Amino acid sequence: MADRLTSVNPATGKVLAEYEIYDEKKVSDAVKQAQKAFELWKQLTLKQRGAVMKKIAAQLRKDKEGLAKLATAEMGKPIAQSLAEVEKCAATFEFYAKNGEAFLKNEIVKTDAKKSYVSFQPLGVVLAIMPWNFPYWQVFRAMAPAIMAGNVMLLKHASNISGCALAIEKVIKKAGAPKGLFQTLLLPSSNVEAIIENPAIAAITFTGSTVAGSKVAQTAAKHIKKQVLELGGSDPYIILKDADMKLAVKTCVDGRLVNSGQSCVAAKRFIVEKSVLKEFTEQFVALMQEAKHGDPMDMDNKIGPMARHDLRDQLHEQVQKSIALGAKLLCGGYIPQHEGAYYPPTVLTNVKKGMPAYDEELFGPVAAIITAKDEADAIRLANDSIYGLGAGIFSKNRTKAEKIAATQLQAGNCFVNAFVHSDARLPFGGTKQSGYGRELSIFGIREFVNIKTVFIN
């Protein structure tokens, strides 16, 4: 029905629930409540805000099991990963509760004034537009720094996980947070532009596809509103000839299969020096095939279904097009003949420019192996992408690998001998068409503040 949002279990194809779309009055009331909440919230001290943050973290842990089961039911994430996701959200709230005061402390600057300093003041109501792949983490990692800084938040979550969106709001309320600090808006994507244009919205944080992010940015720019965009990625992992092969293979498989391969910052393109191509490929394929997949409620399964059947079908089409253009299928690459939006771990080799597996983001458990002539060619291939979110490099020569990661790879997050992941202590974000702005760390909390110069004579 056009007036409802539907949640479907991707493991079974069965409808879980239907939710009424908010009408104009309900949205208007939520915006007004957010404005009222901001006027009160911004007046609290950072210590007082931190106390609320700690209560939210505690409530997340209290409700962890139920929240995890809901995420797994709505988008198919393996239950062990759902549990870990909720814990990560709680830890991030505690991180900002502990460090918020230091991050936002006035910075004294010596000038010819009697006193001058930089102050950090909240902007107001932040609109978060979030995807389905990490139903809680995407929201809480944006919310934690934003509300610690004194802002309030409205959430427009992905339409297929409305249960998770409402559960987040419930957690915030149960923790005793001020009314209106965080509210969920159940809306289809077609209603997003009107919300961005609302004069009460001060800033926007968006995580999702590059295409959708571009549309959000255009609307926000038209109204001169700050945005942070975390968009698509096709992360390259370079395997040099001197890599610890056992470590590289295991890390690359883990990095490719996290969240059933549905992560912007997952390992996607594996660029291997020619001299070790055979060794890497054989071990990589073997480990990919060993990965347990099936019922996402089973703690032992590493891979569940993809979040929706249409996404699974789109991924399969990218695989088939790549094969038709000359890629070689080493394992997987078929649609299972049973219920659920499942897709097996899949490996393509002989991947070259012009193929979807080279040029596009593969959002699922599909790995593209690309051959590099040497180290310089590997770096060139890694950077030959419209994306720049994450990148990895494997070598026993850490000094060399560090230099490549720090100065030569075009990405916002470059890891050596490890797979790329987010950490509250480090800034997270991309470059090129992977977006701009940063989440997490001190940089994340300073995205949605007025960096104000105060000059006193």
Say whether both 186 and 276 belong to one domain: no
The answer to whether position 60 is within a domain reads yes
Start-to-end Cα distance in the chain:
64
Say whether both 225 and 311 belong to one domain: no
Cα→Cα distances 397→8, 235, 261, 416, Å: 48, 21, 29, 10
Q: What is the CATH number of the domain that holds 174?
A: 3.40.605.10
Say whether both 265 and 411 belong to one domain: yes
| Total domain count, the chain | 2
Average pLDDT over residues 141-145: 98
Task: Convert the pLDDT of each residue in 100-121 to its tens digit.
Answer: 999 999 999 999 999 999 999 9
User: Which residue of the set 89, 264, 273, 439 is catalytic?
Assistant: 264
Average pLDDT over residues 290-303: 96
Say whether both 145 and 245 belong to one domain: no
Distance from chain centroid for Cα 442: 18
Taking the whole predicted model, whether its pTM rises above 0.85 is answered as: yes
Tokens 């051959």 found at: 371
pLDDT of amino acid 1: 44
pLDDT of amino acid 3: 83
pLDDT of amino acid 2: 62
The answer to whether position 428 is within a domain reads no
Q: Which domain holds residue 134?
A: 4-231+434-456
Say whether both 194 and 298 belong to one domain: no
The answer to whether position 364 is within a domain reads yes
Give the SS3 label for residue 282. helix
Say whether both 384 and 442 belong to one domain: no
Say whether both 439 and 312 belong to one domain: no
Task: Convert the pLDDT of each residue in 339-379 to its tens digit.
Answer: 999 999 999 999 999 999 999 999 999 999 999 999 999 99
State yes or no: is 230 an active-site residue: yes
Phi–psi pair at 209, nearest 5 degrees: -75, 160
Say whether both 309 and 208 belong to one domain: no
Average pLDDT over residues 389-398: 98
The answer to whether position 207 is within a domain reads yes
Q: Round to whole Å and give the CA distance between 319 and 323.
A: 6
pLDDT confidence tier of residue 152, bands split at 50, 70 and 90: very high
The answer to whether position 33 is within a domain reads yes
The answer to whether position 133 is within a domain reads yes
User: Which residue of the set 230, 273, 361, 439 is catalytic?
Assistant: 230
Cα→Cα distances 251→248, 266, 280, 333, 417, Å: 5, 11, 12, 22, 8
Q: Round to whole Å and give the CA distance between 352 and 350.
A: 6
Q: What is the CATH number of the domain that holds 249?
A: 3.40.309.10
Question: Is the confidence at residue 195, as pLDDT, over 50?
Answer: yes
What sign has the CA pseudo-torsion 245, 249, 254, 256? positive
Say whether both 175 and 297 belong to one domain: no
Percent of the chain with pLDDT over 90: 99
Task: Convert the pLDDT of each residue in 437-446 to its tens digit.
Answer: 999 999 999 9
Dihedral angle of Cα 36, 42, 46, 48, to the nearest 10 degrees: -30
Say whether both 253 and 279 belong to one domain: yes
Say whether both 257 and 349 belong to one domain: yes
The answer to whether position 47 is within a domain reads yes
Task: Convert the pLDDT of each residue in 15-73 to its tens digit.
Answer: 999 999 999 999 999 999 999 999 999 999 999 999 999 999 999 999 999 999 999 99
State yes or no: is 264 an active-site residue: yes
Say whether both 53 and 186 belong to one domain: yes
Contact 404, 386 (CB under 8 A): no
The answer to whether position 319 is within a domain reads yes
Strand stretches in 145-200, DSSP E: 152-156, 182-184
